[in-house]
């Protein structure tokens, strides 16, 4: 059998057509095949070039084109050239038109339109990664919110959760042996949230963490005396900063995040973010 070519033509990325093509080909014992994806086909001249190549390769055409002129051209060309073709968009679109009497937008790539909210969310997530765990204290003055707390008080997961709501969060671990960054004292205390946990819960979490890392559970990291020392140190720092404190012991990440947003609002911090 000669090599099978499948042309996937799309006005967006063409991922849908390619995945469908792969799924269908997998149902056959075909070893020699090639799927060629043509994304962002938005003008007729480009489309004509692709279809002429397709004719030479005797290919099967799969297309996801919402522009009626382009999709009709593919259908007509393939019919005249006896090229097998599958339209993955318009039959379903026509069915919805028939059911709803609504007019489609026919806007290419609309599902992937990158709006301002999307860019803000990406920026916030990148910010949270960059300024996680005190990697670069310079980020504290740029943050919408700063989380502080000892190890295993959910600083990182909370930072990422809030970042997905377009909030730029930096977090700083509180360790008795490590000096606090000067930037922490240069920002308003109402932009700082302290996180704490109960000694028992910290002991449990840290024991489990050591087990995952393959370390002995007798390490000082999980000892009750060390935990109490860290909690006392953290309390002193938070008192000095005058920031609100949340005990995360019995709270899910979503619940703690909700409390943080409420506190920020009460503190008069206008985040002006998408927090839905």
17 Cβ neighbours under 8 A, 6+ residues apart: 8, 9, 10, 37, 62, 63, 64, 88
Distance of CA 84 to the CA centre of its chain: 38
Helix (H, G, I), strand (E, B) or coil at 153: coil
Instruction: Please give the order of strands across the beta sheet that includes 145-149.
Output: 169-173, 145-149, 192-196, 245-247
Annotated binding site for ADP: 149-156
Give the residue carrying structure tokens 């190549």.
53
Give me 161's structure tokens: 């959760």
For the chain, the maximum distance between any two Cα atoms, rounded to a whole number of angstroms, is: 82
Kind and range of the H or E run holding 229: helix 224-241
Give the residue carrying structure tokens 């075909």.
30
CA distance 254 to 85: 48
Kind and range of the H or E run holding 122: helix 116-130
Instruction: Please give the order of strands across the beta sheet that includes 85-87.
Output: 33-38, 4-10, 60-64, 85-87
Q: How many helices (H) and strands (E) does the chain have?
A: 9, 8
Annotated binding site: 149-156
Give me 169's structure tokens: 């969060």
CA distance 94 to 101: 10
Contact 183, 137 (CB under 8 A): yes
């Amino acid at each position: 059998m000669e090599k099978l070519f499948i042309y996937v033509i799309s006005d967006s990325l063409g991922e849908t057509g390619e995945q469908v093509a792969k799924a269908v080909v997998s149902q056959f014992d075909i070893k020699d095949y090639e799927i060629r994806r043509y994304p962002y086909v938005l003008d007729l001249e480009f489309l004509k070039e692709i279809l002429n190549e397709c004719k030479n390769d005797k290919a099967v055409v799969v297309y996801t084109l919402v522009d009626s002129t382009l999709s009709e051209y593919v259908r007509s060309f393939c019919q005249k050239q006896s090229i097998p073709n599958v339209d993955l968009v318009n039959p379903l679109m026509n069915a919805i038109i028939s059911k709803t009497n609504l007019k489609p937008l026919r806007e290419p790539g609309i599902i992937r339109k990158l709006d301002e909210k999307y860019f803000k969310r990406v920026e916030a997530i990148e910010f949270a990664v960059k300024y996680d765990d005190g990697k670069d204290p310079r980020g504290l003055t740029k943050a919408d919110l700063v989380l502080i707390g000892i190890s295993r008080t959910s600083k990182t997961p909370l930072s990422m959760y809030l970042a997905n709501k377009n909030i730029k969060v930096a977090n700083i671990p509180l360790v008795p042996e490590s000096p606090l960054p000067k930037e922490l004292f240069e920002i308003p205390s109402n932009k700082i949230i302290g996180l704490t946990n109960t000694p028992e819960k910290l002991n449990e979490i840290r024991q489990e963490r050591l087990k995952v890392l393959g370390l002995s559970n007798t390490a000082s990291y999980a000892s009750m005396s060390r935990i109490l020392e860290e909690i006392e140190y953290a309390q002193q720092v938070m008192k000095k900063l005058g920031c609100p404190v949340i005990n995360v012991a019995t709270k899910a990440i979503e619940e703690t995040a909700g409390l943080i947003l409420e506190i920020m609002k009460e503190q008069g911090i206008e985040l002006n973010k998408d927090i839905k």
